[in-house]
Amino acid sequence: MKLAYWMYSGPAHIGTLRIASSFKNVHGIMHAPLGDDYFNVMRSMLERERDFTPVTASIVDRHVLARGSQEKVVDNITRKDAEEHPDLIVLTPTCTSSILQEDLQNFVERASLSTQSDVLLADVNHYRVNELQAADRTLEQIVQFYLQKAVQTGTVADQKTSKPSANIIGMTTLGFHNHHDCTELRRLLADLDIEVNEVIPEGASVQNLRKLPQAWFNLCPYREVGQRTVQYLQEHFGMPWIDITPMGVVETARFIRGIQGILNQQGVQVDYERYIETQTLYVSQAAWFSRSIDCQNLTGKKAVVYGDSTHAAAMTKILSREMGIHVAWAGTYCKHDADWFNAQVSEYCDQVLISDNHAEIGDAIARTEPAAIFGTQMERHVGKRLQIPCGVISSPVHIQDFPVGYKPFLGYEGTNQIADLVYNSFTLGMEDHLLEIFGGHDTKEVITKGISANSDLSWSSDGLAELNKIPGFVRGKVKRNTEKFARDRGIQEINIEVLYAAKEAVGA
C-alpha cells in the first residue's frame, strides 16, 4: 500500500478510453462498477465536447460479484452495436474488474459473432501500466488489428502516394494542446509540400487504417503515445519514422532535417535549409526574442522543469539552449521511460529528477527556490504556496489548459507561444518582487464603500462569528446589506437571526 494524495498519470483504462474515443465511431465499454465512468465527465468538461462521449459502462454490481457477469457484458456489447452502429467496440477492464478475473476475451469472442462492429478487448494490465503506457499499447493494438485484417483480405493500401506524404501518430483526446499541435504540424507539412496521409487516432476512422502504409513515413511527435505503433509499422511495412518533437526552434529544425533525410533516402531530393533559415530568423519570433534585451534579463535565472517526458525534455532544452536560463533540475513522472529522459536532458540541467511523488517534487522546488517553475497544475499550486510563478507545460491539467484560442506548443507558432509563456512567468515574478521591495499595493482593508463605514450598529459575537463564515469576496456586501436592513428596522444589535432575516429579505 502506498499513501497517495495526487497522481500524475491516471489508471490504465483512461489511456485506453482516450484512444478509443479519439477515433470516430469507436465505442468504449468499461467493465466497471458504478461511478467509474468518470472519463465521460472529464472529456465533456475539459474538452467542452459537444457530442456524447462514446463510452458506456457494463456495470459490475453485487450480483455480478456473486454470479459473474454472465450475459451482461455480451448483452451490453450487442446492444451498443444495435443502438450506435460503431465500427469498433473496445471492451476495457478496470482495476476492479481485473481482479474478478472473468474471461473477458471469451465475452468479446461471443459478442462479435452477433455484432456488425468489430470487438476488441484492450490488452492492458491495470496493475503494471499507467494511462500513458496503456494508450500507447491500445493504439498499437487497434492499428495492428485493422492492418492484419486488411492484409488477410488483400485490401491494404501499400502503394505509396505520388507526392511525399506522412502519417501523424499520437494525437489524442485530453492530450495537452493536441488539437492545436496537430493544426500546426499540418501547416508545417504543407509548407514543406508534404501531404498528410492519416492523423491517428484523433478524428480518424478505423476503416482508413488500412491506408496507413501508403504514406512515405510516420511522425510520432509525442514520446508517450505512438512509439509502439510506429515501431510496428516499421517492422511490418518498412515505414521510416521520426520521433523528434518539433518543440523549440532548434528541435523544430532538427525535425525538419530528419524529414529531409528520409525523403532524400527515398529518392526525392529536397532541401529545406532555406525554409528553416527564413522561419527561424524572420517568421518565428523566438530566435529574435532570445537575442533581444528582454531575454538578456533572463540570463542565468534559475528555473525548474517537470512534466511528462516529451514536454519536460523539450522545455529544458529550450530554456537552457535557446534562452540562457539556468535549469537547476528537470524531472518527469514517466518513470517507465527514465533512461530516455536522462539521455535527453542531462547536458542541459544540473540534476535529473525521476519521481511521481508530488511531495518529493514540491520539496525539491522549495529547496531550489527557482525564479520560475515550468510544470503541471500541481506545480502551479506549489508555486502559489511558495509565491513562485509557474507556467503549465504538461498534463495533468485543468480546464484553463484547454484554451479555445490557438495555442500550439509545436512548430514555429509553438515557439512564439512558448516565448510568451516563459517571459510572462518571469516578469510576473519580477513585478511581485519589486512590489514587495517598495511596500506593495494599497492594502485591501481601508477600502470601504458607502454606508457601512463608521457604522453605528453593533454586532453580537454570534452574529460576527457567522458573518466571518461567509466567503471573503461577498462578506462586505452581506455586511452592508444586513446593516441597512437593521437600520431600516431600528434594530440596534445585529445577531445571527437578524443576519439571516436580512438575507431572506434582500437575498444578500
Partner 1 sequence: MTLAQQQPSALNFDCETGNYHTFCPISCVAWLYQKIEDSFFLVIGTKTCGYFLQNAMGVMIFAEPRYAMAELEEGDISAKLNDYEELKRLCTQIKRDRNPSVIVWIGTCTTEIIKMDLEGLAPRLEAEIGIPIVVARANGLDYAFTQGEDTVLAAMAHRCPDPEAAALPSTSSRPSALGSLLNFGRKSEDSATAEADYLDHPPLVLFGSLPDPVVTQLSLELKKQRIKVSGWLPAKRFTELPALAEGYYVNGVNPFLSRTASTLMRRKKCKLIGAPFPIGPDGTRAWVEKICAVMGIEPQGLAEREAQIWESLQDYLQLIQGKSVFFMGDNLLEISLARFLIRCGMTVPEIGIPYMDKRYQAAELVLLEQTCRDMGVSLPKIVEKPDNYHQVQRIKALQPDLVITGMAHANPLEARGINTKWSVEFTFAQIHGFGNARDILELVTRPLRRNQSLKELGWTNLVREDARV
Report the catalytic residues.
294
Of 196, 428, 470, 491, the residue at the interface with partner 1 (CB under 8 A) is 470
Instruction: Report the DSSP beta bridge partners of residue 242.
Output: 219
Total residues in contact with partner 1, by rule CB under 8 A: 63
Q: Does 94 bind partner 1 (CB under 8 A)?
A: yes
Q: Does 57 bind partner 1 (CB under 8 A)?
A: yes
The residue type of 9 is S
Of 87, 96, 205, 340, the residue at the interface with partner 1 (CB under 8 A) is 96
Residues 375 to 434 in contact with partner 1, rule: CB under 8 A: 378, 381, 384, 396, 398
Nearest to 319 by CA among 341, 286, 279: 286
The residue range among 60-68, 187-195, 272-280, 476-484 that interacts with partner 1, by the rule CB under 8 A, is: 60-68
Q: Minimum distance from CB of 316 to partner 1 (Å)?
A: 25
Q: Does 7 bind partner 1 (CB under 8 A)?
A: yes
How far is Cα 223 from Cα 394, in angstroms, rounded to an integer? Answer: 13
Q: Does 472 bind partner 1 (CB under 8 A)?
A: no
Nearer to partner 1 among residue 50 and residue 449 (C-beta): 50
Nearer to partner 1 among residue 39 and residue 216 (C-beta): 39
The residue range among 76-84, 278-286, 319-327, 341-349 that interacts with partner 1, by the rule CB under 8 A, is: 76-84
Nearer to partner 1 among residue 49 and residue 191 (C-beta): 49
At CB < 8 A and 24+ separation, what contacts does 99-108 make?
A: 100/60, 100/64, 100/65, 100/68, 102/31, 102/68, 102/69, 102/73, 104/31, 104/73, 107/69, 107/73, 107/74, 107/77, 108/77
137 φ, ψ to 5°? -70, -45
The residue range among 89-97, 193-201, 412-420, 425-433 that interacts with partner 1, by the rule CB under 8 A, is: 89-97
Q: Which residues have CB under 8 Å from 73's CB, separation 6+?
A: 29, 31, 58, 91, 102, 104, 107, 111
Q: Which parts of 386-480 are beta strand (E)?
A: 390-392, 458-459
Q: Does 367 bind partner 1 (CB under 8 A)?
A: no
Tell me which DSSP letter residue 404 carries: S
Q: Please, where are the H alpha helices in 24-122?
A: 38-46, 62-67, 72-84, 95-100, 104-113
Binding track, positions 122-161, relative to partner 1; x by CB under 8 A: ----xxx-x-------------------------------
Is 375 assigned a ligand-binding role in the annotation? no
Q: Does 67 bind partner 1 (CB under 8 A)?
A: no
How far is Cα 415 from Cα 285, in angstroms, rounded to an integer? Answer: 8
Q: Does 505 bind partner 1 (CB under 8 A)?
A: yes
Residues 30 to 49 in contact with partner 1, rule: CB under 8 A: 32-38, 40-42, 44-45, 48-49
How far is Cα 93 from Cα 321, in angstroms, rounded to an integer? Answer: 44
Is 324 assigned a ligand-binding role in the annotation? no
Nearest to 328 by CA among 307, 309, 305, 310: 305
Sheet with 241-242, side-by-side order of all strands: 195-201, 165-171, 217-219, 241-242
With vertex at residue 16, the alpha carbon angle to CA 15 and CA 17, rounded to the nearest 5 degrees, is: 90
Of 2, 274, 367, 441, the residue at the interface with partner 1 (CB under 8 A) is 2
Is 51 assigned a ligand-binding role in the annotation? no
Q: Does 466 bind partner 1 (CB under 8 A)?
A: yes
The interaxial angle of helices 472-488 and 461-469, nearest 10 deg, is: 140
The residue range among 147-155, 202-210, 239-247, 497-505 that interacts with partner 1, by the rule CB under 8 A, is: 497-505
Q: Please, where are the H alpha helices in 210-308?
A: 227-237, 249-265, 273-278, 286-291, 293-296
Residues 284 to 323 in contact with partner 1, rule: CB under 8 A: none
Of 17, 74, 89, 95, the residue at the interface with partner 1 (CB under 8 A) is 95
Q: Minimum distance from CB of 52 to partner 1 (Å)?
A: 4
Q: Does 213 bind partner 1 (CB under 8 A)?
A: no
379 burial (CB, 10 Å; 0-12 / 13-18 / 19+) is: buried
Q: Does 65 bind partner 1 (CB under 8 A)?
A: yes
Contact 222, 135 (CB under 8 A): no
Q: Minimum distance from CB of 127 to partner 1 (Å)?
A: 4
Contact 329, 351 (CB under 8 A): yes
Q: Minimum distance from CB of 507 to partner 1 (Å)?
A: 5
Tell me which DSSP letter residue 53 carries: P
Nearer to partner 1 among residue 129 and residue 345 (C-beta): 129
Cis peptide before 389 (omega within 30 of 0): no
Nearer to partner 1 among residue 5 and residue 438 (C-beta): 5
Of 31, 59, 161, 420, the residue at the interface with partner 1 (CB under 8 A) is 59
Bind-site residues: 36, 429-430
Bind-site residues for [4Fe-4S] cluster: 36
Where along the sequence are the contacts to partner 1 (CB under 8 A)?
1-7, 10-11, 13-14, 32-38, 40-42, 44-45, 48-53, 56-57, 59-62, 65, 76, 83-84, 94-96, 99-100, 126-128, 130, 378, 381, 384, 396, 398, 466, 469-470, 496-497, 500, 503-505, 507
